A and B are shown apart, each in its own frame.
Chain A
Amino acid sequence: MSRPITLALVATLTPALVALFLAATPFIRRRGAPAAALTVLGSVVSFGAAVMLLLSRLGQTGTELFTVPWIRSSARVIAEAGVHVDGVSASMLAVVCFVALCVQVFSLGYMHDEPPADFGRYFTYHALFLFSMNVLVIAPNLLQLFVGWELVGVTSYLLIGFYYKKPSAAHAAVKAFWVTKFADMGILFALLSLFVATGTFAWNVKLEPAVATAVTMLLFLGVVGKSAQFPLHVWLPDAMEGPTPVSALLHAATMVAAGVFLVVRADPLFVQSPTTRTVMLVLGAVTALFAALLALVQTDIKKVLAYSTCSQLGYMVAALGAGSVLAGFFHLTTHAFFKALLFLAAGSAIHAVHSNEIGKMGGLFKKMPLTGAAFAIGALALAGVPGLSGFFSKDLVLEGVEHKLHHVPYVILLATAFLTAFYMGKVVFVAFFGPPSSEQAKHAHEPGWSMKLPLVALAVLAVVAGYFAAPFARLYGEPYHFHFGVGAAVAAALGLGGIALAWTMFGGGKRENPQVMVTVERIAQSRAVNRLYEFGYRRVTLAMADAFAWFDRYVIDGMINWLGYFTIDAGRRARPMQTGFAPDYVLAVVVGAVSLAAWAVLR
């Protein structure tokens, strides 16, 4: 086993061991603090290994592979488990471990008021999540990727439902699971088709064009679910019921980006199907715009960020659809930093104000300057202000899609960039500037070091990550040269313009929504997509289930009952034949004997 493999295994298995240990020792887990310490320690180890791995990969392009047979059937190996180290997995591993570590450290402070048992449970879930995500990242084939994919799904379910006593959280957790599970059927079918076509679960195989389209479309269905693309985006905003650090880690930085990661990984398959790529491009662009519009009218700070995540994932998907894999992946990486930063900063604010509503905040910048600065940096990065990481990656995305489909997606994404800057500006101005609008906001104060430290670390990366685009691209085997062209200038201008517009509308304590926003809000509140699913669940699925159950109970089982009824009834009808008068039986014997004798004689 070579060194990179060992490092990757260490990064993956350490959290697994931690999770296993904590699961097996409830007495330790329920004490809270030791569990948290152990988990963070495990993540530190993971992160260290991941960083060492990433450093060792700099300047290399080859792959390291280590597999063991996982499933054997008809005397041959049909699936393997193992580690696949290359630029993609090394960088992703580092990003995941870093964000996870930051979030866990942040959680030390954020979740401190939870009862010890819940505190321990929370960190156990986190260890499990890190393991699952790393399994996904280092997967050498699509099957293992799917295994990790589903495992992160279940940790997401557990973490969204962390406050399981809240009916809304319980609802959101199952909704998230159902929607993603529905989409995962696509991946399952894709895996089946892929195996039948090629005999492997590898992503780098040559397929018939029709098969390639089918497989990639099915894979993309899974991506739509996991990465919350329209029309399966409905679970992500609800998922904000989970603790804020969870939203930062799973529902912004890493897990939802797994869909994008899958496409990056399976790029050799997607390349073979232009149809799928076109669909991705269109759907990505639509999602980006749609989610940005919905983000405009949200008043819950986490919901704004959630829709913004949808929107940014739309960017990535569009970039991948346009064939610009590097752009998609790079945006994933930078987005992971600044969106995690935004969520954690929002979490810090929520922690101080005890409310998610931006209307209840206000003026926080003065009370908690570090949090405010962190949030502002994140917002600027997200808005694509030049010099910050988001600018570089967004520019790369826009560059990628520019000439596709007669510039339509390009224009959509530019408009989205403007909207993004606008709604982020709105949140910053409403929540962090102006007068405080609630008692809590007046008395808000900075959190402890454990919450500040991750903010600083992420803020630094949100600023500087963009400048590492070139080594990042090299890691990936692609050339990258930044040039500040017209496109970049336009994007930057739109971003600044959006912020400026937000200032004119919301700056200085202004709160009223202008008329345009009210209209958008009305559309958002109709929740058309959600209601469609609700209808499908309650009126179709549950009604069908009731019908089936009735049919089973009263028709299928009824027939069995009827058979029993018939038998008993027949017995009851036949009963009078038994008179209980002994001579009658003798007569019957005689008649029978004589008949038999007669038959024997006369035969």
Chain B
Amino acid sequence: MTLSHCLLLASALFAVGVYGILTRRQIVAVLLSIELMANAANLVFVSFSRFRPSMSGSGAQGQIFALFSLALTVAEVAVGLAIVILVYRAHGDTRIDLASEMKS
């Protein structure tokens, strides 16, 4: 169990998340993939905190940052789901190509 192993795992999880975003058509499914990616990022924070602690302070900064990141994810999911519900209400479905107001 080394840092590079952890990072490889994290990048693999991230890549899986990207795959999910690119291939899923349901917005909720896309949200799930985004959660995966966020999770991967958190893993990186924790790994670095474990193997490369910062020299100043108690060495807990990585974990603290991960906590913040968790909070952000929560916020994102809340807003994201609200949008999903809005799209569903508007179109009766949650296919991602329905939310295409930005398209010219």
A/B touching: CB–CB < 8 A: yes
Q: Which residues of A contact B (CB under 8 A)?
A: 575-576, 578-583, 586-587, 590
Bound CA span A590–B102, Å: 20
| Interface of A (DSSP majority class) | helix
What would be 18 A-B contacts, judged by CB atoms less than 8 Å apart?
A576-B104, A578-B103, A579-B100, A579-B103, A580-B97, A580-B100, A580-B102, A580-B103, A580-B104, A581-B97, A582-B99, A583-B21, A583-B22, A583-B23, A583-B96, A586-B22, A590-B18, A590-B22
Scan B17-44; emit 1 where CB is below 8 A from any A CB, else 0. Answer: 0100111000000100000000000000
User: Which A residue sits closest to B34, measured CB to CB?
Assistant: A586
Closest residue on chain B to residue A580 by CB atoms: B103
> Interface size on B (CB < 8 Å)?
13
Report the minimal beta-carbon distance from B12 to chain A, rounded to whole angstroms. 15
The smallest C-beta distance from B66 to any residue of chain A, in angstroms, reads: 21
Q: What are the residues of chain A within 8 A of B104 when measuring CB–CB? A: 575-576, 578, 580
Shortest distance from the beta carbon of B28 to any chain A beta carbon, whole Å: 13
- Per CB-CB distance, the 10 closest pairs between chain A and chain B, nearest first, are A580-B103, A580-B100, A575-B104, A580-B102, A586-B21, A583-B22, A582-B96, A581-B97, A590-B18, A587-B22
Closest residue of A by beta carbon distance from B25? A583
B21, B23, B30 pick with most chain A CB within 10 angstroms = B21
CA distance A581 to B99 in the complex (A): 8
The residues of B that contact A579 with a CB separation of less than 8 Å are: 100, 103
Across the two chains, which residue of chain A brings its CB closest to B96? A582
CA distance A590 to B21 in the complex (A): 11
Question: Which chain B residues border A586 with CB–CB below 8 Å?
Answer: 18, 21-22
Which residues of the partner chain A approach B100 to less than 8 Å between Cβ atoms?
Answer: 579-581
Which residue of the partner chain A has the closest CB to B33? A586
Can you name the residue of chain B whose Cβ is closest to the Cβ of A572? B104
Contacts of A590 in B (CB 8 A): 18, 22
Expressed in whole angstroms, the minimum distance between the Cβ of B34 and any Cβ of chain A is: 10
> How close is B93's CB to chain A, nearest CB, in angstroms?
15
Within 62-104 of B, Cβ neighbours of A (below 8 Å) are at: 96-97, 99-104
Whole-angstrom CA separation of A583 from B19 in the bound complex: 10
Which residues of chain A have C-beta atoms less than 8 A from B97's C-beta? 580-581
Contact partners of A583 in chain B: CB under 8 A: 21-23, 30, 96
> Does A580 contact B22, Cβ atoms closer than 8 Å?
no
* Bound form: Cα–Cα A368–B21 in Å: 113
Interchain CA distance A582-B24 in the complex, whole Å: 11
B contact residues around A575 at 8 Å (CB): 104
